[in-house]
A and B are shown apart, each in its own frame.
Chain A
Amino acid sequence: MIIDFHAHLDDRWFDQPLMSREQFIAAMDRCGVDAACVFTLMGFFEDSRRHNDLLAGRAAALPERLIPFITVDPKLGEASIDELRRCIALGVFRGIKLHPWLQAFAPSMLKKTIVRIAEIAAEKDLPILFHDGTPPYATTFQIGAVARWVPAAKIVLGHAGLADYTLAAAQLARDIPNLYACVCGPRPADIAHIVATAGAEKVLFGSDLGLSDWMILADRLDAVRYAGISDEQTRMVLGGNARRLLRLL
């Protein structure tokens, strides 16, 4: 079973139309992907409540395959906590996605709110996937710090260091028990290193499907397959670990 832990299901990126739900599913089918964790894109810039509802609506038709994640704007303080609780009460979301770069905050600027969000996530056993790998708000170290603030929360490096923080991602995922690495961006040798350093049980597959088309999904699957890791490690990275974090039976 393959689960894409990092995808976006939205209708546009600013003025650029994105793939429809049908095209998104067709891309998954073409690449043999069973399920995808789906996030907003424009909800990082606009009213997150509205975009949470839109995302829930898009995912509702195929709940076995489209697993929606909540986003909130931590800059709003208590209002973001209210929105988080509202979404959790809907019972359809399986995780939280925060994008400090695009949402324009460093976790340390909003530490009180970020800790509250992470504590609630821990209480509800929802993983939080953060964009990482991009200074000045979303370095891999900044996301690692969040995991240290709330050890009970499951924090995921959304890009496992992306291009320039892959060594740091491997070390932090090794050293911080509640920090996981989603290899959405790293190339085969990076993935092999992250698996060897942090342990295959800490590594998740992700593609950014939705931000780009089916080719990015195929390419990022290739990155795992060319990493030279064992069949068992590959099984864990491509789906087994995601099933565990998402509590899928």
Chain B
Amino acid sequence: MNSSDERIIDAHVAVGREHHLSLDENELLKRLDEGGIDLAIARPMGAELAVLNRRGNDRVLSLGPRVRGLVSANPWFGDEASDELKRCRDRGAVALYLHPTRQGFMPTDPIAQPLVVFATEQNWPVVIHTGTYIQSDVLALAELARRFPQTTFVADTAGFTDMWFELPGVLEEVPNVMLCASLVWGRAILNTVNAGRADRILFGSGEPRDRIGAALARIDRLELSPEHRRMVLWDNARRVFKLQ
């Protein structure tokens, strides 16, 4: 737990294995301790994100009260995907995660719609990977957000890298889109704050690809006001994921 008065929610960590990336439960908790993170939102990765959804979801849902489950189901599984989300809801999931590149669809494709409808019915936010060209287009997420104006959509990794340039316009035009600042550079976060949108930013470390220490150093360098810093590190995530 964070030893200072400041409280921090890490809105993006991934657990499991994917290519060169690996993070298990014990190592995650150790890194949260070292980084002074109070709560983390964890998603599956690798095969457990693309195809073995139940296994990945069970992994993130069994990490204990300090880590909340950002669960996923590949839309190509159809009714089975919807059933998997219902099972996860009953086990305490807090949001839906979609990775259009890994899972092989466009956010606006009809096959994804039932999952987004389900998330909307649960009052869950929908977190979508952005930045990889074609499927993970920031503007495709924006189109989806326009179709579901009552649902909060989080642009995970904030379009990192060069699709970042689309995000300021999306934040201006689509009020139910937020960004998760994992991976993206500091100036992008600061420009968003200076545009009056500190309430649209979630702090995320991007562990294990990035490191909590590096991600927090990015935030420290911004020299945000105490109010904005608290919004980015705690308040916004608490509100979006409805954490008590």
What residues make up the interface of A, taking CB atoms closer than 8 Å to B? 133-135, 159, 162-164, 167, 185, 187-190, 192-193, 212-213, 215-216, 218-219, 222-223, 226
Q: Which A residues are CB-close (under 8 A) to B133?
A: 134-135, 164
| Chain A nearest CB, measured from B205 CB (Å) | 10
In the complex, given contacts A187-B211, A189-B210, what are 8 additional A-B residue pairs having Cβ atoms less than 8 angstroms apart?
A187-B206, A189-B20, A192-B20, A213-B187, A215-B187, A215-B190, A216-B187, A219-B218
Q: B221 an interface residue at 8 Å Cβ cutoff?
A: yes
Q: Is the pair B217, A218 in contact by a Cβ cutoff of 8 Å? A: yes
A139 to chain B: closest CB distance in Å? 10
Chain A residues with CB under 8 A of B131: 163-164
Identity of the chain A residue whose Cβ is nearest the Cβ of B20 in the assembled complex:
A193
B185 adjacent to A212 (CB under 8 Å): yes
* Identity of the chain A residue whose Cβ is nearest the Cβ of B217 in the assembled complex: A222
Known A-B contacts A213-B187, A215-B187, A216-B186; A187 and B20 likewise in contact (beta carbons under 8 Å)? no
Residue of A nearest to B190 (CB): A215
Residue of chain A at shortest CB distance from B132:
A164
B93 contacts the other chain (CB 8 A): no
A220's closest neighbor in chain B, by CB?
Answer: B185
- Flag if B221 contacts A218 (CB, 8 Å): yes
A-B contact pairs, 5 of them (CB 8 A): A185-B161, A187-B206, A212-B185, A215-B186, A222-B217
Which chain B residues border A163 with CB–CB below 8 Å?
A: 131-132, 157, 160-161, 183
| Chain A minimum-CB-distance residue to B222 | A215
Q: Which residue of A lies closest to B23 (CB)?
A: A189
User: Closest A-chain residue to B21, C-beta based?
Assistant: A189
Closest to A196 in B: B20
Tell me if B162 is interfacial: C-beta within 8 Å of chain A: yes
Partner of B185, one of A135, A189, A216, A226: A216
- A164-B133, A185-B161, A190-B20 known; A219-B217 Cβ under 8 A: yes
Please name all residues of chain B whose beta carbon is closer than 8 Å to the beta carbon of A164 when the two chains form the complex: 101, 131-133
Residue B1 at the chain A interface, CB threshold 8 Å: no
Residues of A within 8 A of B21 (CB): 189
Partner of A212, one of B187, B211, B213, B222: B187
Instruction: Note all chain A residues with C-beta closer than 8 A to B132.
Output: 163-164
Docked-complex contact B161 and A189, CB < 8 angstroms: no
Judge whether B211 and A226 touch: CB under 8 Å. yes
Known contacts: A133-B161, A167-B20. The answer to whether A188 contacts B211 by CB under 8 A is: yes
Which of A164, A167, A219 is the most central at the interface, judged by chain B CB atoms within 10 Å of its CB? A219
Point out which of B160, B190, B211, B213 has the most chain A C-beta atoms below 10 A from its C-beta. B211
Contact (Cβ within 8 A) A189 B186: no
The proximity string for B residues 88-115 relative to A, scoring 1 for CB distances below 8 Å and 0 otherwise, is 0000000000000100000000000000
Q: Is the CB of A162 within 8 A of B20?
A: no
Please report the C-alpha to C-alpha distance between residue A164 and residue B161 in the assembled complex, in whole angstroms: 9
* B208 close to A (CB within 8 Å): yes
User: Which B residues touch A188, using CB under 8 A?
Assistant: 209-211, 214
Binary interface profile of B, 119-149, with partner A (CB < 8 Å = 1, else 0)?
Answer: 0000000000001110000000000000000
CA–CA, A195 and B183, complex, Å: 20
Interface centre among A134, A159, A215 (most CB of B within 10 A): A215
Cα-based distance from A215 to B222 in the complex (angstroms):
8
Complex CA gap A189/B13 in Å reads: 13
Set B101, B210, B217, B221: member contacting A187, Cβ < 8 A: B210
Q: Closest 8 A-B residue pairs measured CB to CB? A: A193-B20, A215-B186, A226-B211, A187-B210, A222-B214, A212-B187, A226-B214, A163-B161
Query: Nearest B residue to A131 by beta-carbon distance?
Result: B162
Please name the residue on chain A nearest to B186 by beta carbon. A215
Cβ-closest chain A residue relative to B188: A212
Q: Does B19 contact A (CB under 8 A)?
A: yes
Mask, B175-205, CB within 8 Å of A = 1, is 0000000010111001000000000000000
**Which residues of B have CB within 8 Å of A189?**
20-21, 208-210
Count chain A CB atoms within 10 A of each CB in B133, B187, B209, B214 and give the residue with the most.
B214
Which residues B159-173 have CB closer than 8 A to chain A? 160-162
Contacts of A162 in B (CB 8 A): 161-162
Candidates A134, A159, A167, A215; contact of B218 at CB < 8 Å: A215
